[in-house]
Structure 1
Amino acid sequence: MDRTELAPMIDHTVLGPETTPSDVDRVLEEAAEYGTNACIPPCYLEHVPDEGDVTVATVIGFPHGQHATKAKLQEAVLAWQAGADELDAVCNVGRLKAGEDEAVADELSELVAAVPIPVKVILETPLLSDAEIRRACETALEADAAMVKTATGFADGVGSEKRRANDSAASGGATVSDVELMSEYLPVKASGGIGTYEEAMAMIDAGAERIGASSGTEILEGAPESDP
């Protein structure tokens, strides 16, 4: 896959706790230059140029998904009104692990219904067993979400058997096996620990249709150049 084909599949991302306005401006400029999308914190949506063709995503309930449902809904509506093109919403992992699948699905359904733009559901797969990932995907499917996303990249997962057994998951990142499983249900955004063209292509080969990465430009620099 060459740079032209890959670029629109990448969400060039800056979401760390120390993200500054200048960081966001840089990512938006790089996204425009390279032809990627951008994923930025909701407080910086005002930095998105009024005239531009970059698809901009922001996050809802980030990073743990434990906001009150009303707060998530208000955050989603405000983000859409501020110009976001897509929303990446964190599901409530604790409720999922407690078996409260209906509550998780209800909250996600309300989020999807609250805005006229695509909602991707962040599952935080490094914290979940395969059975829990399937249940999370089923709730996202029931809620009519546009995509499921692997992770925020900020999960610590202390005590998780899965993370102890899988080095990639232990770093909070996406794994090929998780992407393969998730793609049985909905389009997948692979996010967390993807920093090279080879890593991105492994996720795409596994079924990912979008890549979330703070190294979006580096990934594209490693891709074959487009034909003239």
Structure 2
Amino acid sequence: MPWPTVEYVAKMIDHSLLRPDLTTDDVRAGCALAARYDVASVCVRPADVPLAVRALDGTDVAVGTVVAFPHGSSTAHVKAGETAAAVGYGAREIDMVLNIGRLRAGDDRYVADDIRAVAEQTAARGVLLKVILETAYLTDAEKARGCRIAEEAGADYVKTSSGFAPGGATLDDLRLMRTSVSARVGVKAAGGVRTLDILLEMAAVGVTRFGATATAAILDDLARRRGDVAG
């Protein structure tokens, strides 16, 4: 089976710039890397959206950000406000954390209304909405239910993790998530996507987006394996 192209894999990656210690220079450097590899998007902290929009102007790399990150415990009103502000600054993708405790408590209506409040802000503006389940804290039944609720509430993607919980994406979770939503909804893996082999294994079970900080290492490895570069 032939290797996928570097360009194809790059457009599956959201380059993550979410560490709390990143400086503005770090964010600019991360945006430059994202532009150099022409990835799908950068995912930056909310305060960094205007900076990233300026840095990526004229490129084909979208700017995304996070809402209620990483715990998901803001009210729906606050989440909607965060989303409206981020979109106003130029964000084209939103990764929101659902209310984990309410999902575990079985309060499906609350969880749905929480997501819908954000979806109402994104759908009208053509902005992608990815809903983070934080799978490390959930049972399989809760993961499947969370996926179904997210789809019904207007999510474009369901996503495993914030990267700040005890565990990240696993193949078993990704298979479960893929079968818990329709073909309309994508699946994003985040947390532990550090090598090309891991990414390709996850892509094989239906994942189409990846949150990664090891973007350069992954894509350079693919180029080497394809024989696109020497070494």
TM-score (normalised: structure 2): 0.89
Q: Does residue 212 of structure 1 match 2:211?
A: yes
Which residue does the alignment assign to 1:69? 76
Which residue does the alignment assign to 1:125? 135
1:90 to 76, 97, 114: 97
Which residue does the alignment assign to 2:48? 44
Which residue does the alignment assign to 1:194? 193
- Looking at structure 2, the residues matched to 86 and 8 of structure 1 have their Cα atoms a distance apart, in angstroms, of 14
Which residue does the alignment assign to 2:107? 100
- Looking at structure 1, the residues matched to 227 and 139 of structure 2 have their Cα atoms a distance apart, in angstroms, of 39
Query: CA offset at residue 127 of structure 1?
Result: 1.1
SS in 2 for 1:190: strand
2:22 to 8, 14, 19: 19
Q: Tell me the amino acid that sits aligned with residue 140 of structure 2.
A: D
- Summarize deviations over 1:144-168 as a string: whole Å, max 9, x none: 1100010001113xxxxxxxxxxxx
- Summarize deviations over 1:116-135 as a string: whole Å, max 9, x none: 21110000011111100011
Alignment gaps of 5+ in structure 2: none
Query: CA offset at residue 5 of structure 1?
Result: 1.1
Q: Identity of paired residues, percent?
A: 40
SS in 2 for 1:208: coil
Which residue does the alignment assign to 1:59? 66
SS in 2 for 1:87: strand
In the TM superposition, structure 1's runs of 4+ consecutive aligned residues that sit over 3 Å from their partners are 224-228
Query: CA offset at residue 209 of structure 1?
Result: 0.4
1:181 to 168, 176, 194: 176
Query: CA offset at residue 226 of structure 1?
Result: 8.0
SS in 1 for 2:11: helix
Contact 1:2–1:226 (CA under 8 A) maintained in structure 2: no
- Looking at structure 2, the residues matched to 103 and 226 of structure 1 have their Cα atoms a distance apart, in angstroms, of 51
Contact 2:70–2:97 (CA under 8 A) maintained in structure 1: yes
Query: CA offset at residue 51 of structure 1?
Result: 3.2
TM-score (normalised: structure 1): 0.90
Aligned pairs, number: 213
Q: Report matched runs for 1:135-154 at 5 Å.
A: 135-154=145-164
Which residue does the alignment assign to 1:203? 202
Query: CA offset at residue 60 of structure 1?
Result: 0.4
- Looking at structure 1, the residues matched to 160 and 153 of structure 2 have their Cα atoms a distance apart, in angstroms, of 17
Q: Tell me the amino acid that sits aligned with residue 45 of structure 1.
A: V
- Looking at structure 2, the residues matched to 2 and 28 of structure 1 have their Cα atoms a distance apart, in angstroms, of 22
Given the superposition, is the C-alpha separation of residues 108 and 22 from structure 1 closer, same or farther in structure 2, using an over 3 Å criterion? Answer: same
Query: CA offset at residue 109 of structure 1?
Result: 1.0
1:109 to 78, 91, 116: 116
Contact 2:131–2:157 (CA under 8 A) maintained in structure 1: yes
Alignment gaps of 5+ in structure 1: 157-171
Query: CA offset at residue 96 of structure 1?
Result: 0.3
Moved more, 89-98 or 180-189: 180-189
Q: Tell me the amino acid that sits aligned with residue 204 of structure 2.
A: D
